[in-house]
């Protein structure tokens, strides 16, 4: 990632654009000629949309016909930046510069900033034979400069509009920094909290992940990719990455076809329907084949059955890693397998540039395969408007006025508030009483301005987040005494993106100050959790309990002041049974981004009533993992008063906090659940929701079903609907859900969707455990 400061470019954007228009004209002249010809041919026989589509098709086909095989292969080659692109290439990167000038690179990643992208684009457009522009990609996961909550945290909002807002601002800032394409959203359904990349996804449920992933795609891409304020999305990782054995990143995946079609693929299918411009395949094997060489999922499903017309990019050298997997003898064979299977662009693998031409000459790769891949890449570039103006995104003034604006920070605060989950609140410790006079803000993360930014932070400025302490001080006012003490360090090494994290297990010298702060305060806010680089790619952990001295610090404070509110920061579910047993209040705040401290203060002081719900189950211990709500029943589900049933002998089967769980500062009551199955094609489910508490609150009402008997065993519960409803104190609302064949069916082992008649349970409630239940009979009419 290039974090260097940008300097003035050698030419202005206006000058660069003028040079392009007057000196090259290669692409724009061709585009204008084709547009004129197309309009003439189709004006009287086609609607405007068809004309537009034909213009795209004709333009791309005409350009493809002009390309040499070497130039075509170049479009399938993505490289990372070897220098900051704001000056001449150093000697070690001059080979890359020559390839760019020759038009033998189709995309670059890790080139960021309006000036750097302008300079890189000029190298290609003004020097190569055809002037085909680059597409610049970057890992914009939860914001570009303005950081939003990590995606798992945003998923806790259970609100597609909130997720869409976050992605749209990330797109706006990325586009202003010269980028065209993000490697997001990640929509891997994750059931294993040990896997570090659960922070990048939407949790354990395919229904929720489908809705939120599609919303994120729409947020990135808007209504039109040619809009300068949007960027292309990338649905990743295709497929099965989160099911890595033992939760270890990059590990193998061994799943059934039923799991593939019913759990893993639905978010990808939904994102395709939402218009995702690109896909990224995954590092793992899936049913014995590396995903990069899996023709079934890439060609038959994605490009065939689903009609996807964008392109598929490999993950970083995932094609080359097929050799290490033992699937290919060498890089040449890996290139052959990947391109034939449907992997269009090679990210940093050099497999295609080194061997595709040779493979075509040997008739191992049909030129039609190459042409199809290149057309897909050119089509996305066309839809982004890069042929019309390759420099349209590289505007330094726009960049300056857009990044980290007040409006963007305000949106980040809103999204962060919606992502907070209230896990426990005994005796209504929260919100803090308006009459309170002293608050202790304690913990290794209490005044940390970097941790809230989370991992995969794009171009965020280090230590730029609002800390918990800052947020509390700003909101409490001058009449409230804030007693701060760090207590202890979480880590002993300097925090950085790469390298091993060393946790503090010996230095307790700060305990005394923390205990003293707690003694003289009415309430304690204890900010503990994970280091921000504990979760993320390559950050799998065998033990998801709190690290270092944090639990000791809690015990020391609890001994002198048990009036504690835990402010928990983390990028994955953590096992905290001891905290749940003792602490009267626990707030799950994830890594909330740039405005974390303000958002936390909004909730702590009651300016915002929390409504977040867990998108992923929290286990009691590491031994329960993987644990998820939508499991299959067993032949001995229990419970029984004997040993021979499916359970642990040393711990409850139940999670610490179930999927969908989250409290409010008010109370909600569900009543009058009813099912009307008179129209089997549209089953109507109704329930009355009432706010029985004293304040206005927002509830996420959740609907689950169970197909009691089926040709394939179905889960004991499956989320099939939810509604986010705000009610005043005492207010009631009748909620209605509709179940159609879309919600009532499932995929068999051959990938065929089917709806079977039989008995169904319908469950509605506040989380996946506390539910009202009714049963109905689905007749054969809906199946026919």
Question: Within 13 Å and on the Cβ side, how many CA atoms surround 36?
Answer: 5
CA nearest to 693, candidates 670, 672, 665, 671: 665
Q: Is 555 one of the catalytic residues?
A: no
Asked if 395 and 560 count as a contact pair (C-beta separation under 8 A), the reply is no
Asked if 106 and 77 count as a contact pair (C-beta separation under 8 A), the reply is yes
Instruction: Give Cα separations from 319 to 130, 428, 783 (angstroms).
Output: 28, 54, 42
Residues 599, 185: Cα–Cα separation, whole Å = 24
Per the DSSP assignment, residues forming a β-bridge with 310 are: none
CA nearest to 348, candidates 68, 69, 82, 70: 82
Asked if 245 and 253 count as a contact pair (C-beta separation under 8 A), the reply is yes
Per the DSSP assignment, residues forming a β-bridge with 682 are: none
- DSSP string spanning 562-631? --EEEEEE-SS----HHHHHH-SEEEE-----TTHHHHHHHHHTTSS------SSPBPSSGGG-S--SSP
- Angle at CA of residue 188, ends 750 and 542, nearest 5°: 115
Residues 591, 529: Cα–Cα separation, whole Å = 10
Catalytic residue among 188, 315, 447, 448: 315
Asked if 606 and 431 count as a contact pair (C-beta separation under 8 A), the reply is yes
Q: At what angle do helices 351-361 and 367-383 cross, to 10 degrees?
A: 140
Evaluate the CA torsion angle 127, 128, 130, 134 in order and state its sign. Answer: negative
- Angle at CA of residue 415, ends 410 and 416, nearest 5°: 95
Evaluate the CA torsion angle 704, 707, 708, 713 in order and state its sign. Answer: negative
CA nearest to 697, candidates 722, 670, 727: 727
Helices (H) and strands (E) in the chain, counts: 24, 25
Integer-rounded Cα Rg, in Å, for the chain is 27
CA nearest to 526, candidates 587, 570, 480: 587
Instruction: Give Cα separations from 712 to 265, 563, 737 (angstroms).
Output: 17, 50, 25
The tokens for 356 are 């595709």
Asked if 461 and 147 count as a contact pair (C-beta separation under 8 A), the reply is no
Residues 565, 32: Cα–Cα separation, whole Å = 64
203 phi and psi, to 5 degrees? 105, -155
Instruction: Give Cα separations from 395 to 114, 116, 223, 381, 455 (angstroms).
Output: 6, 11, 22, 18, 28
Residues 190, 24: Cα–Cα separation, whole Å = 49
Active site residues: 315
């Amino acid at each position: 990632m290039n974090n260097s400061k940008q300097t003035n470019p050698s030419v202005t954007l206006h000058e660069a654009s003028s040079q392009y228009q007057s000196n090259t004209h290669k692409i724009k002249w061709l585009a204008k000629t084709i547009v004129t010809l197309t309009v003439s041919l189709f004006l009287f026989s086609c609607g405007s949309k068809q004309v537009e589509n034909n213009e795209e098709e004709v333009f791309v086909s005409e350009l493809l016909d002009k390309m040499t095989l070497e130039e075509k292969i170049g479009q399938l080659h993505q490289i990372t930046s070897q220098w900051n692109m704001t000056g001449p290439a150093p000697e070690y990167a001059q080979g890359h510069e020559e390839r760019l000038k020759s038009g033998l690179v189709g995309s670059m990643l890790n080139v960021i900033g309006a000036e750097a992208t302008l300079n890189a684009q000029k190298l290609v457009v003004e020097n190569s034979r055809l002037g085909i522009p680059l597409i610049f990609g970057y890992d914009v996961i939860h914001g570009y400069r303005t950081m939003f909550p990590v995606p798992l945290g945003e998923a806790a909002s259970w609100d597609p509009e909130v997720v869409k807002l976050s992605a749209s601002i990330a797109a706006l800032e990325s586009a202003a920094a010269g980028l065209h394409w993000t490697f997001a959203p990640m929509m891997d359904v994750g059931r294993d909290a040990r896997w570090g990349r659960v922070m990048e996804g939407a949790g354990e449920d395919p229904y929720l992940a489908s809705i939120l992933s599609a919303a994120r795609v729409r947020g990135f891409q808007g209504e039109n990719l040619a809009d300068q304020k949007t960027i292309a999305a990338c649905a990743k990782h295709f497929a099965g990455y989160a099911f890595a054995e033992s939760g270890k990143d990059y590990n193998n995946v061994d799943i059934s076809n039923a799991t593939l079609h019913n759990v893993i693929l639905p978010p990808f299918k939904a994102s395709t329907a939402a218009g995702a411009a690109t896909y990224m395949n995954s590092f793992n094997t899936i049913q014995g084949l590396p995903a990069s060489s899996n023709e079934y999922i890439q060609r038959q499903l994605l490009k065939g059955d689903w009609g996807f017309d964008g392109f598929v990019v490999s993950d970083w050298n995932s094609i080359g890693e097929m050799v290490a997997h033992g699937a290919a003898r060498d890089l040449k064979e890996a290139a052959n397998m990947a391109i034939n299977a449907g992997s269009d662009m090679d990210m940093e693998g050099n497999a295609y540039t080194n061997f595709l031409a040779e493979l075509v000459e040997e008739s191992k790769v049909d030129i039609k395969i190459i042409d199809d891949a290149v057309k897909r890449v050119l089509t996305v570039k066309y839809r982004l408007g890069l042929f019309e103006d390759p420099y349209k995104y590289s505007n330094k003034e726009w960049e300056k006025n857009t990044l980290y604006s007040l409006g963007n920070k305000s949106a980040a605060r809103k999204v962060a508030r919606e992502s907070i989950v209230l896990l426990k609140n005994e005796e209504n410790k929260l919100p803090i009483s308006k009459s309170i006079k002293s608050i202790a803000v304690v913990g290794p993360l209490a005044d940390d301005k970097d941790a809230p930014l989370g991992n995969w932070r794009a171009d965020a400025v280090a230590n730029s987040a609002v800390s918990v302490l800052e947020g509390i001080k700003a909101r409490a006012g001058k009449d409230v005494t804030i007693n701060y003490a760090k207590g202890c360090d979480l880590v002993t090494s300097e925090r950085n993106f790469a390298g091993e994290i060393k946790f503090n297990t010996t230095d307790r010298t700060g305990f005394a100050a923390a205990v003293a702060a707690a003694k003289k305060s009415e309430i304690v806010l204890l900010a503990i959790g994970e280091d921000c680089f504990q979760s993320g790619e390559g950050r799998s952990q065998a033990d998801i309990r709190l690290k270092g001295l944090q639990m000791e610090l809690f015990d020391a404070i609890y001994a002198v002041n048990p009036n504690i509110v835990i402010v928990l920061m983390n990028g994955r579910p953590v096992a905290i049974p001891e905290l749940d047993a003792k602490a009267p209040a626990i707030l799950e705040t994830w890594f909330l981004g740039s405005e974390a401290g303000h958002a936390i203060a909004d909730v702590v002081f009651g300016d915002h009533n929390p409504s977040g719900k867990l998108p992923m189950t929290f286990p009691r211990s590491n031994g329960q993992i993987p644990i998820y709500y939508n499991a299959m029943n067993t032949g001995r589900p229990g419970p029984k008063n004997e040993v021979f049933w499916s359970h642990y002998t040393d711990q409850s089967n139940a999670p610490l906090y179930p999927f969908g769980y989250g409290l409010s500062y008010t109370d909600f009551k569900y009543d009058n659940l009813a099912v009307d199955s008179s129209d089997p094609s549209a089953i109507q489910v109704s329930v009355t929701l009432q706010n029985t508490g004293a304040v206005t609150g927002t509830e996420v009402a959740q609907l689950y079903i169970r197909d009691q008997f089926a040709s394939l065993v179905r889960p004991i519960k499956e989320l099939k609907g939810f509604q986010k409803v705000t009610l005043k104190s005492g207010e009631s609302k009748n909620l209605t859900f509709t179940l159609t064949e879309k919600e009532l069916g499932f995929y068999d082992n051959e990938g065929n969707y089917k709806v079977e008649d039989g008995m169904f349970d319908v469950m509605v409630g506040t989380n996946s455990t506390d539910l009202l239940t009714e049963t109905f009979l689905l007749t054969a009419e809906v199946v026919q």
